[in-house]
Amino acid sequence: MAEPSETVCRVCGYDDGVEPFWEGGRPDEGAICPCCGNEPGMSDVSVMGLRGYRGYWLGQGVPWNSPGSRPKDWDILEQVERIPAEWR
């Protein structure tokens, strides 16, 4: 059974609902989160790994990798609530 595609960033919860970060259990090569800058398959393979990256990103003041993509009314707390439970 194929694993579902993941359009939610495992690190920050960003989700455009279209572009998958992971598909069928494999990272989408070339995909990069416009919010936290996570590259699927790099820091988000394990919970421990992505927690390290998430902590670093938070410590930097949650900078957007693509500032132009940041919604005016962006709410980080609302976004992180969308992180799947298994990746929190």
Query: Using CB under 5 A as the criterion, which residues of the chain lie in contact with Zn ion when the complex forms?
Result: 9, 11-12, 14, 33, 35-36, 38
- Is the Cβ of residue 9 or residue 31 nearer to Zn ion in the bound state? 9
In Å, what is the CA distance from 10 to each residue of 63, 72, 83? Answer: 16, 22, 6
Least Å distance between CB 12 and Zn ion? 3
Task: For residue 38, give the DSSP letter.
Answer: P
Task: Rank residues 2 and 15 by Cβ distance to Zn ion and give the closer one.
Answer: 15
User: To the nearest whole angstrom, how small is the minimum distance from the Cβ of residue 54 to Zn ion?
Assistant: 9
Written as one letter, the residue type at 41 is: G
Phi-psi domain of 85 (left: phi exceeds 0; alpha: psi -120 through 50; beta: other): alpha
CA distance 63 to 26: 26
Closer residue to Zn ion (CB): 2 or 18: 18
> Minimum distance from CB of 67 to Zn ion (Å)?
14
